[in-house]
Structure formats: C-alpha cells, structure tokens
Structure 1
Amino acid sequence: MQYGICNLGIVPMRLEPSDTSELVSQVLYGETFKVLEKRKKWSRIRISYDKYEGWIDNKQYLEISNENYETISKSIPVLSGDLLEYVADERKGIYTIPLGATLNGCDILKHTFDGHKETDKKDKSNIIKTAFLYLNSPYLWGGKTPFGIDCSGFTQMVYRLNGYTLKRDASQQATQGDALSFIEESEPGDLAFFDNADGDIIHVGIIMEDNYIIHAHGKVRIDRLDHSGIYNVESNKHTHKLRVIKKVI
C-alpha cells in the first residue's frame, strides 16, 4: 500500500482519471490518503479523514511512508482557522492554503505556518459562528473551501473546524446522528436534510435560531425553514423539501 499527502492548497478529486471528469470533491492541503491504484498520470485515493475515494493528478501530491501516514492519522487534527493563509517552504516559497487545511504534516513537508490554528472539540454553540465564515461563498459541486463549496462540503467543513466528523455526501451524513420528530425539538447546529421526488437525499443545511437555516444553494445563504422545507424569501417559494432533522452533536 502506498500513502500520500496533499502538498498544495486545493487539489481537485475527480470521478474518473481525466482533467475533464466530474469534480466529486477536493483534497485540501495537509490531508493524507491511501493510494488504492496508481497509473501513469493519475492515482485513485481514499482520504483518511472521511474515506472518500476519487482520482487525483500524480503531480499534485507527495508520497509518504506508512509510519508518517499513521502518525498524522492518529494525531489530533490541527487546522488552519483563517479564510486564507499560507505556509512557507525551506526556500521561503509560499503556498496559499484555505480555511480548514490540515497542519499536522507541516514537519514532514518541511513547511512553516504562523497563522491561526483550530484544534480540539468546541461547544455546539460555536457551529453557527463557524458557518458564518463561509457566508456568500459561491456554490461549487465537489467544493470544500470558501472559494467554492457544495452543501455537504459546507456542513462537513463547519463540523470539522469544530472537532466533529461528518461523512462527505449529504446522503451519507443523513445516516449519522439521531432523528428528531419536529423542528421545534432542534437547536442551532443540528442538520436538516432534504430529498427529491424519488426520495433520495440531495441537500443538507445547518439549522439556526428562530426557524432559519444556513446552507449552500447558489451561494452559502440564509433562508427560512418550516415543516415543508426551505423557503427562499427572494423567490417567494420553497426550494427544498424537508426529509429529516438530525442531531449529531
């Protein structure tokens, strides 16, 4: 088995080994992974954090030893806490990194970081504060950063910055936590899931106070939440049908 670490700020993870293939997620700086299959130009990887799989360019990561992989995977995550920061290499070269980048591998990469760090679990009351860091970020299918993010990437990264683990996709996140019977039972930081006409869960957002929800739809935005679903005050209509509310924390 081979192992790798992302040594660049944001690396696209694709469905197939091609630059034109669908973006399914992103690998952020410092994230480690197992290399499941390696071809001439592409590698199929499994991210250690959420076990998500996809293809990345061989030029966009560094191989590391099993020992280094295990050391980073078992350590308490240390994440970049600012919207945009940088690390510097031994030659003072600069690598920009986004909010939520992992810093545990800086020593292995021989990089230095002097910015704000986030580590350990935080109180549930901090979830909404973190979510506001992404407000107005543009929607991007497969995105995980303030420069482009999808609905489940948004909830995953907000929870991760507070020390909690969510799976990558909305349908996967819906399997976590305990279901609530009514919106009135929820509290800020709980997750609301929404389905399509076929009953498939396709969307997720974070519940706020007073029947509001923050979610990624066109951009990270705040809308009303009722028993039917998400009500967009700008278009004066419901945009998503409520399926279930989950308490993960």
Structure 2
Amino acid sequence: MHKKRLFLFLCLLNAAVVVAQPAKPVIDAVRKQYAPDARVAIFRIETDSVGALKGKTNLPAAKQALTAQLQREGIAFQDQIEVLPATVLGEQTYAVVNVSVANLRSQPRDAAELATQALLGMPLQIWDKERGWYLAQTPDQYIAWVDFGGIQRMTKAEYDRWQQADKIIFTRPFGFCYSEPTEQSQTVSDLVAGDMLVLEKEAKQFYQVRYPDGRTGYVSKKEAQRHDRWVASLRPSEETLVSTAKTMMGIPYLWGGTSVKGMDCSGFTKTVYLLNGITLPRDASQQVHTGELIPTPNKEFSQLKPGDLLFFGEPATPEKPERVVHVGMWIGNNEFIHASGKIRISSMIPGATNFDEFELNRFLRAKRMLVKH
C-alpha cells in the first residue's frame, strides 16, 4: 500500500512539472522583450503546478503579449496576473516626496538594501503597497520601496495641481526651512540641494513655501531660487559640471545614495548632472548606455573633456558578459572626481600623489553626456 501511494505521488508530481514547464519559456521570452531590466519595469510572473499564471506587472501590453502567445501555442493556463497599480491603493496612485531625502529600498522593510534616494518635491508613480511600504517609480524610471513617512500620497488631480504650481528649488548643499521668516526661528525640516517646494509668497529675504503634506515655512532667498528662473538660467557646460562636482568634495560614500547626505558613484554623477538640469539614469550600468562614446585607445585620455563620464569594471570574456561597476567624471589635467570612500579626485598619471592604479587598471570606456548639436 505504501509503495502504491508513493507511485501515485510521483505520477502527480511529474504531471505537475509537465504542466508548469511549457509556459516558462514563453514567460521568459516576454520578460526579455518587455522588461529586460527589473530596475525600471515590473514583470514578476510565474506559473504554478496547475498552470495558473500568478504575479504582478505594471505593463498591460506585456501581460497581453504573454496570454496571446500561450493561446497561440495551445498552452492551457489560468490568468491570475494582477496588473498594477494595485487596487488597494484606491485613487491615490501618485505621490510626492515629503522629506528632504527619502530612502528607497530593494524590499519593503527597513533592513533591506538602500536602492536609491528621492528628493523633497520629487513626483512618484505608486504601483503597490505592502504594510507601510509603497512600491514607487521615480522620474528616471527606477522602481523601489519607500516607507509611508517619506511621501505624501495623492490622487491624479492633487498630483497635477502640485506639478503645475510655482516652486522654488534649494540650491545650497545643505540648509533648513524655518517656521518664521528668520533663521532664528524653529526649523520645519532640513533641506538639501535639489529639494523643491511650492512657492506661496515671495518676501524681501525669504520665500514662503508649502510642503506636499500642507506644512508651510520660510526658505532664505540666499539658498534657493524660483524654479522657473533656475531652469531658464541653466547653461550646462564643462565648467559648471566641474564646479558643481567640487562643491560635494568629501561627502561620504553611501551605497544607494543620491544626495549630499551620502552618495554612491552613480548617485554622485547623477546628482551633478541633475543640478545642471540634465537627468541621467540611476546606475552606472545604465548610464554607460547613454551619451556619446569617446575614443580612449590604450587608455589614452587626450580626447576627453571635463564632464565626460568614465566607466570601470570587468571587460567581457567568452565566459561572461561585461560588468560596469563604477563611474567617475573627468575634470581635466588627467584627473577625475568620483565617489569612492568619499567624493575625491584621483589621477590617471603614475607618480601623481593621487594616482589611482586600481581604477586605471579596470577602466572600460568613456562617454560624453554633454553633447552639443
């Protein structure tokens, strides 16, 4: 009797495997086509032992392509895929960052890896919720989890009003918003470069501002500008990129950081360009696919200009693909500035006091983001 039951169990197990296997190649093919980079798209679909398609995606077209292909191939399935945004969110599928720097994590828990950061006033698309955490997508398309305290959720109408309102941008590396138009008053919050708030009124020495959650306060005009005027004044150049980068010297390295409170290598280059009005992708392995390739034959850097990005890592081999793991910015004089331990300047010249042999050895290529047409 025992052997008979075991035989029956094995038969059922084999049958389950047979059911589950046909759909997997189709799922993988659709994922590769529609969501090859899980950092910027959600396609978490699996099939279980009875052929049910389970999981979540924020790509309706990917789900449609998957089910259509399974039907064409005659593969039976049950559609249990949830298309995001999740229904639990109701109409509040948008949000705006409500603190000076919001930490976005790889998983919905405090102990999870810091994936990236988002600055005060930054608009977010909200896709899902788990306990007090929200799955958010930043303007550069990066997707990660933010806790409820870092954002103000909004409906589309509320979000549109925030987007259309006049704003100020904080331009100093670090400072404060005050409860009264004097720096001797209580602080409302800290502020960092790139933070944005709604402009309520403009006085002689202060802007009266409003936070996404309705708090109000005052920001010194010495430390901020009207956003529209700031945008109009932007003239990104080799000189402004280097100048911006050098204002961050000594800021500590922080994995996942993109603010003056701490930065990783790509967070640093991203922030330098952001403060010059240019949006770069989040990670070095994404930034390397943008811009114009600049020749560096035999690691010879004479064609580089200040502001060019240098990428480092492991070259491709027959056994494994290329790995881009670090990025820095050229500043001229055979030097580059990067986040490694802290924001610092390194040289490519042997014998220089700041020569960085490690980075020279793993240099891959250089790209120009400041391309003039």
Instruction: Name the TM-score, length of structure 2 as normaliser.
Output: 0.60
Tell me how far 1:218 sits from its aligned partner: 0.5
- 1:32 Cα shift? 1.3
Which aligned pairs between 1:28-67 and structure 2 lie closer than 5 A?
Answer: 28-47=119-138, 49-67=139-157
* Partner of residue 214, structure 1: 337
Q: Return the match for 2:253 from 139, 151, 155.
A: 139
- Comparing both chains, which one has the higher relative contact order based on Cα–Cα distances under 8 Å and sequence gaps of 6 or more? 1
What letter matches 2:99 in structure 1? L
In our comparison, the structure showing a higher alpha carbon Rg is 2
Please name the residue that 2:188 is paired with: 94
Question: What are the within-5 Å matches in structure 2 for residues 191-210 of structure 1?
Answer: 191-196=309-314, 199-210=322-333
TM-score by length of 1: 0.87
- In 2, Cα distance between equivalents of 1:224 and 1:149: 20
Contact kept, 8 Å, 2:347 with 2:356, in 1: the verdict is: no
Find out whether 1:16 has 2:107 as its counterpart: yes
The one-letter amino acid of 1:223's match is S
Q: Partner residue of 1:190?
A: 308
Counterpart for residue 170 of structure 1: 284
What SS class does the counterpart of residue 19 from structure 1 fall into? coil
SS at match of 1:239: helix
Per the alignment, residue 148 of structure 1 pairs with 262
Task: Give 1:147's aligned amino acid.
Answer: K
State the percentage of identical aligned residues: 27
Contact 2:267 2:283 in 1 (8 A): yes
Task: Pick the structure with more strand per residue.
Answer: 1
Of the three residues 79, 83, 105, the one matched with 2:173 is 83
Tell me how large the CA RMSD over aligned residues is: 2.7
Using the TM superposition, give the Cα deviation of residue 37 of structure 1 relative to its aligned residue in structure 2, in angstroms: 0.1
- Deviation string 1:6-54 (CA, Å, 9 cap, x unpaired) is 111222111001111001111221111011001221111001x211110
CA distance in 2, matches of 1:108, 1:94: 10
Pair 1:178–1:142, CA change in 2 (3 A): same
Q: Which moved more, 1:158-167 or 1:193-202?
A: 193-202
> Helix, strand or coil for the counterpart of 1:154?
helix
> Within 5 A, what are the aligned runs for 1:111-122?
111-112=216-217, 113-114=219-220, 115-117=223-225, 119-120=230-231, 121-122=234-235
The equivalent residue for 1:69 is 159
Name the one with the larger helix percent: 2
What is aligned with 2:51? none
Aligned partners of 1:79 and 1:100 also within 8 Å: yes
Q: Is the 8 A contact 1:223 1:231 kept in 2?
A: no
Distance 1:81 1:63, change over 3 A: same
8 Å contact 2:236–2:277 — kept in the other structure? no
Deviations 1:114-164 (A, max 9, x none): 332372232312000000111011100001222211001100111010111
Unaligned 5+ segments in structure 1 are none
Distance in 2 separating the partners of 1:170 and 1:76: 33
How far has the Cα of 1:101 moved from its partner? Answer: 1.6
Q: Deviations over 1:47-101 (max 9, x none)?
A: 1x21111001123211123134345557898531111122346996511011222
Q: Find out whether 1:123 has 2:241 as its counterpart.
A: no
Task: State how far apart, in whole Å, the 2-side matches of 1:234 and 1:190 are.
Answer: 19
